[in-house]
Structure 1
Amino acid sequence: MNIVNILEEIEKVDGEIYERLNPRRAAMKSFANMGKKISLAAMPLAMGSMFQKAYGQTTPSVVTDVLNFALALEYLEYHFYNHALVAAPSLTFTAQQRTEITVIRDHEMAHVNLLKGALGASARAEITYAMTDYTAGNTFPTVYSDYVTFLKVALGFEDTGVRAYKGQAGNLLGNPVLTTALQIHSVEARHAAHIRTMLNAAGATGLKPWITLGPGNIGNDTGVAAVNAVYAGEENTTQAGINIAGIASQVTAAAAAECFDEPLAKANVAVIANLFLKDGFKLS
């Protein structure tokens, strides 16, 4: 994480960022000192705390709602990976696979801490593992015993996250936390691409690193019908009112669909997330 670059991006939106924190020179000094005192893993929490200090009194309710919804998704992702690593003895990983899943798990916890820090006292209550059902009502009964099934569910989570963050970006326009949200969005996209690579290595499918069209030109290219909701609309080939499929001989429907990640509305994301939450803990 390059703190100076993050602050420079925020400064483009909010020229008073340093004054909100404290005078610029003092802020730079405190960042230098902070780097000596805390580990890189703890940096997102510290940054989140500073953002809460700067914007906690001025953050509109719609932004708080967006960040809390994002926080709920990050809790779901964190517990999904964490349980696989520490409490699913029937799910075996090679040393390399375990390392890769651990990195993703740790990223999700960093996102949780960053969002909690930004929200401060407005942060929603934690979603615990006990509130979840990663079999999705026995739709994926082998999620914690079969490696390929585990990865396919993981891919559903990551692709949902990518589309969810994009879907809410418009609600964050004009607020400096948009920078943070888009950074998390990019990490989720890298997770999705990497899990697709892991699935290919496991011999599951011929997935590309990005979403493309599935059989019958539907948006779901995973071959898992149970996650159709994750990919609904990804088959879209029209942008700015123009159907870009066929505008040149090499621009097929698949190529046109691959060009853009489609946003996913909050209500649609909630339907997907609720598949993995027990009754009484559903998102709205």
Structure 2
Amino acid sequence: MNILRLLDKLSHDQFFTKEASRLEAITDISLFGKKAAKAAVPLGLGTLMATSAKAEPTKTALTGTALKSTLTDALQLALVLEYLENEYYSIGLSTPGLIPNGDRTVFMQISKHESAHVGFLKSTLTSLGTTPGNKPTFDFTSGGKFMPFTDYNQFLILAQAFEDTGVRAYKGQAGNVMSNKVVLQAALQIHSVEARHASQVRRMRANKGWIELADGGNMPSATNPVYAGEDNVNQAGYNTATLFGAAAGSAAYDEVLSGSDAQTIASLFIV
């Protein structure tokens, strides 16, 4: 089964909404578990990309080199963000007593997605002739500002910040991967999965599933860079606040996060 189709299937709302019964979620995870494990193997992903992403043509040697650099830089940034999320959920799930039993199914599934994303990005970079970056050393306390593995509320706060960052960052890099249609499709599908993660975690914190007016929703000031610019209400020369109000107007469009801004946010948690 194609890993991207699988991730899209596994990101169905029933996996990420409390309204769905735990039995339904566990049953579906069981049905897809073996396929997910097989599809997430880096070798399988590498084979997929070796016959598709690598085969994408470039117009000239010079243009091809420039496009490849832009493409692989975007993928390296995505890999850093996925490394961060993957390790964060792995530590959270392995910390006794941190995540309530009723929420573990959600984070176990999100963790599986992040692990698959890491494997996919590494294999894609390799298939494009680029060595994937090494996983950084993370400090999820950000120098003592947070205690996410002893306080579940803080764990949720950072989970929301990381997921919201990922959604905006993937959207911001879409233009940089357009030179390769296979990678573009993959990035947009992963973006969709990350958006579902973000929406679910936000709702678990009693927030709306979307961002309004650069307000993360009861988030500490240290996370402000994640939401900077989300209060924009001007789209294609039209002020959406005029007809819908500022909150609805800003919520109707997700704002992109530049690569440098995404890297700056990630760097807050890198030693």
Shorter chain as denominator, the TM-score bin is 0.7 to 0.9
Residues 81 and 2 (structure 1), Cα distance of their counterparts in 2 relative to 1, 3 Å cut: same
The letter of the residue matching 1:241 is G
Residues paired across the two proteins, number: 229
Matched, 1:194 2:194: no
- Cα offsets for 1:221-242 (capped at 9, x unmatched): 3432110000000000000111
1:40 to 12, 36, 39: 36
The letter of the residue matching 1:150 is F
| Residue in structure 1 matched with residue 235 of structure 2 by the alignment | 239
| Residue in structure 1 matched with residue 180 of structure 2 by the alignment | 175
- Cα offsets for 1:30-87 (capped at 9, x unmatched): xxxxxxxx7323314424432134333657121111111101110010000101111x
Q: Secondary structure at the match of 1:246?
A: helix
Q: Secondary structure at the match of 1:39?
A: helix
| Residue in structure 2 matched with residue 132 of structure 1 by the alignment | 138
| Residue in structure 2 matched with residue 208 of structure 1 by the alignment | 208
Q: Secondary structure at the match of 1:100?
A: helix
Give the TM-score, by structure 1 length: 0.75
Query: Cα offset for 1:2?
Result: 5.5
Q: Secondary structure at the match of 1:196?
A: helix
- The 5 Å alignment of 1:112-131 reads 112-120=118-126, 122-127=130-135, 131=137
Contact in 2 for aligned 1:212/1:220 (Cα 8 Å): yes
| Residue in structure 1 matched with residue 262 of structure 2 by the alignment | 269
Q: Distance in 2 between matches of 1:125 and 1:69?
A: 9
Contact in 2 for aligned 1:167/1:265 (Cα 8 Å): yes
- Cα offsets for 1:191-217 (capped at 9, x unmatched): 0011012112xxxxxx1011113xxxx
Q: Distance in 2 between matches of 1:48 and 1:227?
A: 35
1:85 to 93, 113, 124: 93
Query: Cα offset for 1:3?
Result: 6.8
Consecutive aligned runs of 4 or more in structure 1 exceeding 6 Å deviation: 3-6
Q: Distance in 2 between matches of 1:274 and 1:5?
A: 32
The letter of the residue matching 2:157 is K
- Cα offsets for 1:248-283 (capped at 9, x unmatched): xxx1100000001100001101110000000xxxxx
Q: Comparing both chains, which one has the higher relative contact order based on Cα–Cα distances under 8 Å and sequence gaps of 6 or more?
A: 2
Contact in 2 for aligned 1:219/1:233 (Cα 8 Å): no
The letter of the residue matching 2:198 is A
Q: Distance in 1 between matches of 2:215 and 2:100?
A: 31
- Cα offsets for 1:137-157 (capped at 9, x unmatched): 1111x2111111100000000
The letter of the residue matching 2:260 is A
1:154 to 159, 164, 186: 159
Contact in 2 for aligned 1:220/1:234 (Cα 8 Å): no
Q: Distance in 2 between matches of 1:224 and 1:181?
A: 29
**Sequence identity, in percent?**
43
Query: Cα offset for 1:123?
Result: 3.5
Contact in 1 for aligned 2:4/2:189 (Cα 8 Å): no
2:71 to 63, 77, 86: 63
| Residue in structure 1 matched with residue 29 of structure 2 by the alignment | none
Give the TM-score, by structure 2 length: 0.78
The letter of the residue matching 1:119 is L
Contact in 1 for aligned 2:71/2:179 (Cα 8 Å): no
Gaps in structure 2 of 5+ consecutive residues: 7-33, 58-66
Residues 133 and 191 (structure 1), Cα distance of their counterparts in 2 relative to 1, 3 Å cut: same
Contact in 1 for aligned 2:231/2:250 (Cα 8 Å): yes
Gaps in structure 1 of 5+ consecutive residues: 7-37, 201-206, 279-284
Contact in 1 for aligned 2:92/2:99 (Cα 8 Å): no
